[in-house]
């Protein structure tokens, strides 16, 4: 009999999303020495802050096994967390760099790398169960920072909130029904930073606000 999955973290060989499982197998063949599995969250469950990204990048978090590690987006994210005291050490884009998160945990709305970096609706909904369960076992959680619209909508769904009642606006705060605060941020992706939709100061402001709230 198969062992049931850990409720907050999909199995290494999770089969819940067929398309993602096929893509994982292909990547295991192509890149046999890389992580190629659902990427676990990083940081303590006791944290007051949860940062929710979209999904691992193929050659970033999917290769390294730590969220945003090896991805372009991680440079800005970890640099910002270090600046605002949510991390200590040095970020060297490698899971063995010794970087520690302080009062902060990082996860992804979808734990497996999706083809073309785009998870489909059913994958987002399936993986949201792990996010929901994770939020439920974070006893000190006060604040969620959602990176991008998919993360924002997924966090709302895990709270059974009406999406139309909470418009995604950069740096906007939303009060959720269980007392948690959600702050939106444009995703710190290469695309958003190179088009200047998101600048470094704009991203810093989000975490400055988070720091004020805690």
Tokens of 192: 């958003």
- What is the closest distance, in whole angstroms, from the C-beta atom of residue 2 to ligand URA in the complex? 27
Burial of 3 (0-12, 13-18, 19+ CB in 10 A): exposed
123 binds ligand URA (CB under 6 A): no
Pairing of strands 143-147, 49-53: parallel
Stretch binding ligand URA (CB under 6 A), from 50-58, 84-92, 120-128, 196-204: 50-58
Among 38, 60, 65, 119, binds ligand URA (CB under 6 A): 60
Residue 22 CB coordination number (10 Å)? 12
Report the residue closest to ligand URA, judged by CB.
53
Among 8, 20, 50, 54, binds ligand URA (CB under 6 A): 54
10 binds ligand URA (CB under 6 A): no
Among 10, 38, 67, 114, binds ligand URA (CB under 6 A): 67
DSSP 8-state assignment for residue 141: -
CA distance 130 to 107: 10
119 binds ligand URA (CB under 6 A): no
CA distance 64 to 24: 14
Contacts of 201 (CB under 8 A, 6+ apart): none
E strand segments, 119-206? 143-147, 173-175, 181-185
Which residue lies nearer to ligand URA by CB, 41 or 103?
41
Q: Which of residues 130-189 bind ligand URA (CB under 6 A)?
A: 147
- What is the closest distance, in whole angstroms, from the C-beta atom of residue 71 to ligand URA in the complex? 4
* Binding positions for ligand URA, rule: CB under 6 A: 53-57, 60-61, 67-68, 71, 73, 108, 147
């Amino acid at each position: 009999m198969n062992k049931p999955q850990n409720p907050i973290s999909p199995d290494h060989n999770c089969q819940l999303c067929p398309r993602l499982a096929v893509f994982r197998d292909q990547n295991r063949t192509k890149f046999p020495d890389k992580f190629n599995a659902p990427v676990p969250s990083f940081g303590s469950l006791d944290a007051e802050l949860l940062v929710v990204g979209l999904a691992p990048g193929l050659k970033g978090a999917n290769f390294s096994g730590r969220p945003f590690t090896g991805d372009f987006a991680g440079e800005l994210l970890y640099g910002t967390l270090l600046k605002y005291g949510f991390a200590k050490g040095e970020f060297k884009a490698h899971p063995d760099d010794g970087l520690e998160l302080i009062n902060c945990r990082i996860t992804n709305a979808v734990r497996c790398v999706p083809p073309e970096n785009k998870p489909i609706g059913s994958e987002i909904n399936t993986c949201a169960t792990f996010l929901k369960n994770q939020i439920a076992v974070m006893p000190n959680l006060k604040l969620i920072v959602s990176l991008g619209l998919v993360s924002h909508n997924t966090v709302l769904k895990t709270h059974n909130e009406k999406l139309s009642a909470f418009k995604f606006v950069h740096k906007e705060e939303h009060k959720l029904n269980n007392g948690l605060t959600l702050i939106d941020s444009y995703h710190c992706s290469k695309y958003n930073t190179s088009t200047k939709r998101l600048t470094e100061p704009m991203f810093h402001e989000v975490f400055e606000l988070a720091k004020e709230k805690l």
